[in-house]
Amino acid sequence: MEVILKEDVAKLGSRGDVVRVAEGYGRNYLLPRKLAIEASKGNKTVIEQMKAASVRRSAKEKTQAEELAKQFADVSLSFERRSAEHDQLFGSVTSGDIADALEKKGLNVDRRKIQLHEPLKTLGEFTVPIKLHKDVTTHVKVLIEKEAAAE
């Protein structure tokens, strides 16, 4: 089945691409979620117009992402967590925790854009990438410290 993507789909293609997918994937996932439309002659002409609009929108989104990336230049986040011996944490620091901490600092970022492959489970300093746009990635410094023992 050939479909035209209306949105960027990870590991498949970007907006406006004509891709070949399995019948079930297209019919049961892409089409109902409005991520794609069937590739017919009429839809292909509509896609040309969508591509032109997409280029304009992408350029605007990229400039906004670059502006936001400048605000991340000196941002560093600090977390205090209980830890066991060998600097292992009870629990972890997740992308949701990082997004909440950034929001408290006035930077609103969706947690899905934080490129944390697995939660941070040890004490220390980490550099976490944040993908603001497909061409713009910034980094934020995350420091995880030992929580003071309650007496």
* Three state DSSP letters for 115-145: CCCCCEEECEEEEEEEEEECCEEEEEEEEEE
Q: 32-71, pLDDT tens digit by residue? A: 999 998 888 888 787 777 778 878 888 888 888 888 888 8
Q: Is the pTM of this model over 0.75?
A: no
What fold, for 2-64?
A: Ribosomal Protein L9; domain 1 (3.40.5)
Residue 104 has pLDDT above 50, yes or no: yes
Fold matches, 2-64 and 72-146: no
**Share above pLDDT 70 across residues of the chain, in percent, rounded to a whole number:** 98
Q: Which fold has domain 72-146?
A: Ribosomal Protein L9; domain 2 (3.10.430)
151, pLDDT greater than 70: no
Mean pLDDT across the chain, nearest whole number?
A: 86
The domain segmentation of the chain, as residue ranges, is: 2-64, 72-146
Distance CA 17, CA 9 (A): 10
pLDDT at 23: 92
The three-class DSSP label of residue 38 is strand
Token digits of residue 35? 């991520």
Rounded Cα gap, residues 112 and 116, in angstroms: 9
pLDDT at 85: 79
Q: How confident is the model at residue 100 (pLDDT cuts 50, 70, 90)?
A: very high
Residue 70: predicted pLDDT? 86
Q: Is residue 150 over pLDDT 70?
A: no
